[in-house]
Structure 1
Amino acid sequence: MMDRIERIEAFPIQYPDPNDFNTIRRTVLVRIETDHGVVGWGECIAMWPEACKAVALVIEQGLLPILKGEPAGEIEANWVKMRRHVWWYGEGGIASLAISGIDVALWDIAGKVAGKPLYALLGGLKHERLLANASSHVNKKGEAACVAEVEGFFAAGFRSCKLGFAKKGESNIGGDPDTDVSFIRALRKTLGDEASILVDIGNGVRWNVETAISVANRMYDLGIGWYEEPLYVTDDAGYAELRANTKVRIASGEREFTEAGYRRQMEFVRAIDVYGVDPARVEGVTGFRRVDALATQYGKAVNAHAWSTAITTAASLHLSLASPNTEIFEYKPFPVVVQDELVAEKLWHKDGWAYPLHGPGLGIEVQEAVVKRLAMA
């Protein structure tokens, strides 16, 4: 019998993040239940309290009324219906976040109904495994402490690291270009030539194009794997100039919301080599697949953003292993409740590799008591 959407619930939650000295992070979890009792989970990475509340309102007052009673398995039709509903306020932003959570949950349901893991619904595995990447913020006091922390990730089995600069904490990494290059030089000396080092300059840094080019070329000589968002993401002219003056691979994209945004980057800006794509932001699994198809068409690499709860980690892992364009898979290398307690079994690497989840749907069992405990006030 066909499963139909019976209820959709949005749960804004908050939790302390130890990677940022227990800064409070927020997100919205989505629970969908069919008329036959099948439950799927998704996530909308809204992050700010007002954005989380707005996403929950769009889901419960805007999208639930148009989806209630619809066939849960008609995912594409439901995705199109949501996008058409939000046409006036929704090419990106809050509406895209809301669509993302619902779409991921519907794919979770589809896998459970079929008795298949999500990757099987996406055409099967393109990789048997991916390099496990420790994705962290560089925020300890002094270069030596920052190097030692990353060295510890590799000692714990990781085979790659992605390092965010200018984050909350005690480090001055991201505050001075020479200091940043010195840190990567010291890290390369400690880890050796074969270690994969990816640099995420990030939103906290405000460089001009000349500085971005200078740092790019110095870090290229130190063998970094890519150089992420050294300029504000909409500085198209700056990225074009950077692309023309460095050989290092440039990464960006995790702040895009839609297929159209990525298409504009690939067709017109033509500066980015590695695109960050977040299923909890880019209108779900369906949106991610569309961006991934563009990446295949234009010969670009894709990196699934997974830096939130285990729900997004699971969706991103399935999508990454089912994509021909991925190279690594990111994990948070610190204990955090939304990874360790939110699901029955923590998603983690094995000997430095990310392997598939073989359970139906997302392959996770969400602990609803933990969802309630983390509810945002």
Structure 2
Amino acid sequence: MPMKLARIQTHILRYPDPNDLHRERMTVLARLETGDGTVGWGEAIAMWPEACRATVLLIEEGFAPLLLQAGDVTPEQCWRKMREHSWWYGEGGIACFALSAVDMALWDIQGKMEGRPLSALWGRVHERLPANASCHVNKASLSACIDEALGFFSAGFRSVKLGLGKKSLSTVGHDPESSIALVAGLRREAGGDAEILVDVGNGLRWDALTAIDTVRRMAEHRIGWIEEPFYPTHWQDYRALKRALSVPIASGEREWTVSGYQRLIDSSTVDVVGVDPARAEGITGFREIDRRVGAAGLTVNAHAWSTAITTAASLHLSLASANARLLELKPFPVAVQQELVAEPVRQMDGFTSPLNGPGLGVEVDEAVVRRLRYTV
């Protein structure tokens, strides 16, 4: 069902995030409106002030004129137009942020025009997904870090993902020994059925031998996967870890494009492919990446952080994917989740269920957008 766009706006939001010790984070929202008044929202998790400003510039001065003059279009047609327009600078980087926000908003409009939730529009595979509490390890002591994770299990979450090497009140998770002690202590207290995932991330720089030794010792306490143990392009280290151990490896959160994900899949280095619809060429990009992930027999994991808009998109995409097995959620109250929309995604009894409203299924409170808006 084609649409004709009449207006494209952007908003930079700035807000304190309890998962980062209430440090301020930033993101970009795109608001698209058709001639008949149907509104769609999308997000680009550009995060840094200069990246947010650049994302806004690309949307407002690059993509908006292109799409507003295009006449009747579909999300897929717009996606191709934006990729073709940004061919010189768009193979990765900030152009993907801008494209992602616009594409997400286009799909929100598409679902609203057809009166269906996006997961139903694409074909829902799961009626619900286990909820994962994705947190940064940043408390003042090892026992406090363990207690926090135990609290997430007590609240009903089916699994916990421990983000190591973050800005913190302690050094827990900043070295192999404390990271292993964290996993061992949580396993001891949580019991054998609790799923523990470990995210090494950008804050640590392990070499292959360190990773093999550390992950082997973590595996003695049963971890579900090890995520981003190396810088994304250090494929030789990934291959060495994969040859040495049977622990599933997750990566991809910092990838940008469909072609980049294909290279990652072809490298045979990962088992769980992380995709951020607010970063990696939007919803359209995610669906194409997911198709390729499935063809390779791998698992897809949606990055559902930042605002309730991206969380909703990730939920719809995951529910419609046979390759998804859980949904990560922020286990802390934050304005861009609980206040930005009327009915944010929540876990109930350890699961996330479909949003049944049309499109993304969330109604954005524009008063909250104005309150959180950051003016350059």
* Structures share fold, TM-score greater than 0.5: yes
In structure 2, give the amino acid aligned to 1:376: Y
Aligned to 1:162, what secondary structure does the other structure show? Answer: strand
**Worse overlay, 163-172 or 147-156:** 163-172
Q: Which moved more, 1:71-80 or 1:293-302?
A: 71-80
Seq. identity, %: 56
In structure 1, the partner of 2:221 is: 222
- TM superposition shift of 1:174: 2.7
Change (3 A) 1:73 1:127: farther
Once residues 220 and 4 of structure 1 are traced to their aligned partners in structure 2, the CA distance between those partners, rounded to angstroms, is 53
Query: Is 2:94 aligned against 1:113?
Result: no
Structure 1: distance between partners of 2:73 and 2:314: 20
Q: Is it true that 1:131 corresponds to 2:130 in the alignment?
A: yes
Q: Which residue of 2 aligns with 1:12?
A: 12
Q: Deviation digits for residues 78-120 of structure 1, max 9, x if unmatched?
A: 1000000000001011101100000000000000000000112
Contact 2:277 2:303 in 1 (8 A): yes
Cross-structure match for 1:312: 310
State whether residues 34 and 72 of structure 1, in contact with CA within 8 Å, keep that contact through their aligned partners in structure 2.
no
The match for 1:98 is 98
Pick one of 322, 326, 329 that aligns with 1:328: 326
Paired residue type of 1:189: R
CA distance in 2, matches of 1:19, 1:45: 16
Aligned-pair Cα RMSD in Å = 1.1
Partners of 2:157 and 2:269 in 1: CA distance? 29
Q: Give structure 1 stretches of 5+ with no counterpart.
A: none
TM-superposed CA distance for 1:175, in Å, is 1.9
- Structure 2: gaps (5+ residues): none
> Is 1:3 matched up with 2:12?
no
2:252 maps to 253
Q: Any idea what SS the aligned residue of 1:312 has? A: helix
Counterpart in the other structure of 2:337: 339
Q: Which amino acid aligns with 1:244?
A: R
Give the deviation of 1:149 after TM superposition.
Answer: 0.5
Alignment partner, residue 27 of structure 2:
27
* Distance (whole Å) between structure 1 residues aligned to residue 234 and residue 57 of structure 2: 32
CA distance in 2 between counterparts of 1:49 and 1:285 reads: 24
Change (3 A) 1:144 1:72: farther
Do 1:217 and 1:247's aligned partners in 2 also have CA atoms closer than 8 Å? no
Aligned twin of 1:160: 159
Paired residues for 1:362-377 under 5 Å: 362-377=360-375
3-state SS of 2:328 partner: strand
Q: Distance in 2 between matches of 1:346 and 1:112?
A: 18
Amino acid paired to 2:316: H
Please give the per-residue CA displacement for 1:47-93, whole angstroms capped at 9, x wherever unaligned: 10000000000000000111004356511111000000000001011
Cα displacement string for residues 283-327 of structure 1 (whole angstroms, at most 9, x for unaligned residues): 111000011001111001011001110000000000000000111
Say which SS state the counterpart of residue 307 (structure 1) adopts.
coil
Q: Distance in 1 between matches of 2:53 and 2:168?
A: 28
Distance of 1:340 and 1:206 partners within structure 2: 34
In structure 2, the partner of 1:300 is 298
Partner amino acid, structure 2, of 1:61: E
Give the secondary-structure state (helix, strand or coil) at the position aligned to 1:4. Answer: strand
CA distance in 2: counterparts of 1:71 and 1:316, whole angstroms: 29
The amino acid across from 1:199 in the alignment is: V
Q: How does 1:12-91 map to 2 (within 5 A)?
A: 12-71=12-71, 73-91=73-91
Q: What is the TM-score normalised by the length of structure 1?
A: 0.98
SS at match of 1:90: coil
For residues 25 and 304 of structure 1, what CA distance do their matches in structure 2 show? 20
Contact 2:2 2:74 in 1 (8 A): no
1:193 aligns with 2:182: no
Counting matched residue pairs gives 375
Relative distance call for 1:142 and 1:233 in structure 2 (3 A) is same
Secondary structure of 1:311's partner?
helix
Partner SS state of residue 3, structure 2: coil
Would the alpha carbon gap of residues 72 and 321 (structure 1) be closer, same or farther in structure 2, given more than 3 Å must change? farther
Query: Which AA in structure 2 matches 1:290?
Result: E
Corresponding residue for 1:170?
Answer: 169
The 1-side partners of 2:254 and 2:233 are apart by 10
Contact residue 277 and residue 302 of structure 1 kept, 8 A: yes
The separation in 1 between residues aligned to 2:72 and 2:279, in whole angstroms, is 21
Stretches of 4+ moved more than 4 A in 1? none
CA contact (8 A) 1:73 1:110 kept: no
**Alpha-carbon separation, structure 2, partners of 1:343 and 1:72:** 29
Change (3 A) 1:318 1:71: farther
1:143 is aligned to 142
